[in-house]
Amino acid sequence: MKRRTFAGPLALLAAVTATLSGCTTADGGAAPKPPRPSVSSPDRTPDHGTGTAGTSDGTLLVTDFGADTVTFVDPGRRGAAADLGSVRVGTAPYGIALGDDGTAWVATAEGVAAVDTRTRERTALIPYRTRTGPVTTGEYRGGGMGIALSPDGGRLYVGVNVPGGNGTLEVVDTGRREVTESVPVGRRPFDVDVSRDGRHVYATNHDSFDVTVVDTGDWSTRRVEVAPYGTEGGLGSWLKPHYTAVRPSDGALLLPFEGERLAVVDPGTGRVRIEDMTANTHQHGVAAGPDGTLYVVGTGPIDPSEDDGPSLTVRSPDGGERVIGLDGPHESVAVSADGRTAYVSGGFTRDGYWNGLSVVDTGTGRVTRLPVGERPLGIAVLGDDRA
């Protein structure tokens, strides 16, 4: 297996930019699509929309990072018919979390939006406590990124990016629909996850090479560095953590790097153990199935002369891997309850995104592309209990 060294990636970065603070230099990508049907179009204040369409089990809801909407998708349809319409939620929506009551919580640049997925309307837009500057779009925009619910659904945790500085973890009371706590974390909290017992929240901080472990009892924090390639290159490094999965069997944190290394973190002790991976591609999104199978999105090469292209890695609990090739960059992944289908978003936080999803049959490796959304990023599977 190739082991990445600093020289290649850092030399490439130097040629690209001297001020790069993440995985990209600017927005870019696919040409805009024709207007799509809007199911509900509330204004930018908390209110109720006018949509009345129902939502069936197995429908997807994706965040449109290139717009101010979320889009409902029927993955069983093909072509434009898969796009079931959109709901306005707020500028540049990123992560999404789904409650048992059918409420989808969406982290936007303006605040946390609540969407009733049954009636398809936005029912609230909860402002952040953290000051993030003017509302903007693009990879470096301030506002919510990673998002997760507590096991009982009473609290929502949102990683808020503060451009040029450390982020915060904002805690939302889902009943009162207001922010009750704001906890300092690292830089650009791409992902937020919660322990099985709800006692700890994990903010994965891209630009500070770490995970912040937050105790939900007293809001104390611990920093765990997760940098299997070191931190050389600082903000300009490509070799940073992006997203985390919590392993169902023991609560370990799983962070993939470059299709070469899987960082397995004991959140209690902070110890990091490295396992081999095989995809040899820059990796972002990750999800864990109930049986411990890991699904990892490969976005493409850092260095096209050495690295492989976009892919989805399906990693069994014993470490065996199947790598399924994808056409074009992707960002996040969600999986059906039965593990037979993976949904991979084409939105991507870097240049080269496309407006659609790849639907992957995890048994056969067959990939079907659906043209939906506007730079779709986060994905939730609605009412999928067919395990």
Give Rg (Cα) of the chain. Answer: 19
> Token digits for 44?
């930018």
What percentage of the chain carries pLDDT values higher than 70?
A: 84
pLDDT at 8 over 70: no
Mean pLDDT of the chain: 88
pLDDT (tens digit, 9 = 90+) per residue, 292-325?
A: 999 999 999 999 999 999 999 999 999 999 999 9
pLDDT at 16 over 60: no
CA distance 26 to 139: 8
Nearest CA-CA partner of 321 in 263, 378, 280: 280
Mean pLDDT across 138-166? 97
Q: Which residue has the higher pLDDT, 212 or 384?
A: 212
**DSSP character for 44?**
S
Mean pLDDT across 111-124? 98
Q: What is the pLDDT of residue 26?
A: 33
pLDDT at 24 over 80: no
pTM for the whole structure: 0.89
Provide the pLDDT confidence category of residue 103 given band limits of 50, 70 and 90: very high
pLDDT (tens digit, 9 = 90+) per residue, 210-249?
A: 999 999 999 999 999 999 999 999 999 999 999 999 999 9
Provide the pLDDT confidence category of residue 90 given band limits of 50, 70 and 90: very high
DSSP 295-319: EEEEEE-SSTTTS---EEEEE-TTS
Which letter, b or e, does each residue of 103-125 get, where b requires 16 or more Cβ atoms within 10 Å of its Cβ?
A: bbbbbbbbbbbbbbbbbbbbbbb
CA distance 124 to 113: 6
pLDDT (tens digit, 9 = 90+) per residue, 340-376?
A: 999 999 999 888 899 999 999 999 999 999 999 999 9
